[in-house]
Amino acid sequence: MADNSGVTGMKPKRKPSAGEKLSAAALRDSEARLRAILETAVEGIITINERGIIESFNRASENIFGYTAAEVIGKNVSVLMATPHREQHDSYLHNYRETGHAKIIGIGRETVARKKDGTLFPMDLSVSEVKLSDRRLFTGFIRDITERKRLEKENLEISEREQRRIGQDLHDGLCQQLAGIEMLSQVLAKKLAPNAKAAAARAQDIAGAVRAAISQTRLLARGLSPVTLEAEGLMAALAELALNTEKMFHVRCEFICAETVKFPDHAAATHLFRIAQEAVSNAIKHGHAKKISIRLAAGAEQLQLSVQDNGSGFPEKKSHGQGMGLRIMQSRIGMVGGTLRIENLRGGGVTVSCTAPKNSGTAHGCKK
Ligand SMILES: Nc1ncnc2c1ncn2[C@@H]1O[C@H](COP(=O)(O)OP(=O)(O)OP(=O)(O)O)[C@@H](O)[C@H]1O
Ligand SMILES: [Mg+2]
């Protein structure tokens, strides 16, 4: 029989069966459904391949980043990232391919991303891996959390301001009144001394008790408003933190700062101080550390602060319970536009290290 398929050497095209037609239609339906879900999702959803090249970019991503899908598809996902992830993302993917050790996949984290116009903004990022028959894809789910961060920042600033105000009121108001009472008690003691020795001694006791109350109030005031307004206030406050920790908890606590560090941004300095304070408190409370080192150093652009302890280290189990300390630390470092790392040391103990830009400002909405 003659071949009448029209193309020499090709098999005649077979008509799809009814079943095949149905499953092709079902496939088309499910693709359309998936596309609709992607396009209407409030979260930014981006898929990249193993080499970090963007393969899809939904509408919410376009709104968040200011790029159209056509502008970024085919580009490396690092264009959406801020330093240092921008420069290092290829090596993250490479490490994951080599070791299978995931740092973000299935975990999720807050990070900073970059819009088309260069604005940096905070985002919640979670990544999942999709294994296809011949390759794998990574899907990133992104939520812009600028507003949430702004509220957190406002909350912290309000409470910081309130604490400072109470600290100053205690120092300037209550301490002065107590000082007045102490003086009056001493005058009374002197008056009583010639004729009523026992009563004079009582008046001296009262003066002593008031003096103790003044010291306590001063300590309280300093705790509420720890960093003074001078450029070197952070250094002084950390040195005092080390000293007070030794006195109060009978542990060795050193403050290491090779050169004078000036950091005139009072609000940012207070955030950094509070991070160190929480790290020290955790080292004692949870790690039962016997030695703590607080280090402060400044480079040309950045400030480095770390608190290292020789305690037990983080427990194996990851859950950190109801505690607020670590979360507030994270939030504070976000406010100064810095980075925070908390890690168990090989020989035991924990290091909390952070960096902050010298001309701090906020991380949100600032151009880089
Ligand atoms: N230096 C440390 N050594 C050992 N474990 C630590 C250390 N720092 C934190 N942890 C662990 O992390 C958990 C969470 O710490 P976090 O500061 O968030 O909360 P907390 O100290 O329990 O409560 P809060 O800070 O609200 O008073 C702690 O319960 C502890 O298990
Ligand atoms: Mg704590």
Per-position DSSP letters for 198-221, written without gaps between them: HHHHHHHHHHHHHHHHHHHHHHHH
CB contact at 8 A, 218 and 171: yes
Name residues whose C-beta falls within 8 Å of residue 224's C-beta, 6 or more positions apart in sequence.
163, 164, 166, 167, 170
d(CA 47, CA 56): 5
Using an 8 Å Cβ cutoff, are 330 and 110 in contact?
yes
pLDDT higher at 368 or 275: 275
What's the confidence (pLDDT) of residue 368?
37
Distance CA 243, CA 255 (A): 8
Q: How confident is the model at residue 74 (pLDDT cuts 50, 70, 90)?
A: very high
321 lines ligand 1 (CB under 6 A): yes
Nearest CA owner, ligand 1 atom 25: 325
Whether 348 lines ligand 1, by a CB cut-off of 6 Å, is no
With bands split at pLDDT 50, 70 and 90, how would you rate the model's confidence at 111? confident
pLDDT for the residue 58: 95
Task: Verify whether ligand 1 is closer than 6 Å to residue 326 (CB atom).
Answer: yes
Task: Report residue 118 as tokens.
Answer: 């260069």
- The mean pLDDT value for 46-63 works out to 94
How much distance in Å is there from the Cα of 349 to the middle of ligand 1?
12
3-state helix, strand, coil in the chain (%, to 5): 50, 20, 30
Residue 364's CB is within 10 A of a number of other CB atoms, namely 19
- Measured in whole angstroms, the distance separating CA 198 from the mean position of its chain's CA atoms is 60
Nearest protein CA to atom 28 of ligand 1, as residue: 320
Q: What is the pLDDT of residue 106?
A: 62
111, 85 contact by CB (below 8 A):
yes
Give the number of other CB atoms < 10 A from CB of residue 176.
10
Taking the centre of ligand 2 as the mean of its atom positions, its distance from the CA of residue 256, in whole angstroms, is 23
E-assigned strand segments in 172-287: 252-256
CA distance from start to end of the chain? 74
Give the predicted TM-score (pTM) of the model.
0.63
Tell me the one-letter amino acid at 251: V
115, two tokens = 């819009």
Q: What is the pLDDT of residues 174-227, one digit of tens each?
A: 888 898 899 899 999 999 999 999 999 999 999 999 999 998 888 888 788 777
Tell me which DSSP letter residue 364 carries: T
The ligand whose atoms approach the alpha carbon of 350 most closely is 1
- For ligand 1, pick from 310, 317, 320 the residue to mutate: most ligand atoms within 8 Å of CB: 320
Contact assessment for residue 127 and residue 138, using Cβ atoms and an 8 Å cutoff:
yes
Q: Collapse the DSSP code of 172 into the 3-class scheme (helix H, G, I; strand E, B; otherwise coil) and give the result.
A: helix
Nearest atom in ligand 1 to the alpha carbon of residue 352 is 1
Judge if the beta carbon of residue 323 lies within 6 A of ligand 1: yes
22 Cβ inside 6 Å of ligand 1: no
Q: What is the DSSP string of 227-264?
A: S-SSTTHHHHHHHHHHHHHHHHH-SEEEEE-SS-----
**Mean pLDDT over all residues of the chain?**
85
- 350 CA closest ligand 1 atom index: 1
349 in ligand 1 pocket by Cβ < 6 Å?
no
> Residue 8 — very low, low, confident or very high, per pLDDT cuts 50/70/90?
very low
Q: 146-169 and 197-224 helices cross at what angle (nearest 10)?
A: 160
Gap between the Cα atoms of 318 and 358, Å rounded: 33
328-359 pLDDT, tens digit per residue, is: 888 889 888 899 999 999 889 999 999 999 87
pLDDT (mean) for 294-300: 94
| Nearest listed ligand to the Cα of residue 328 | 1
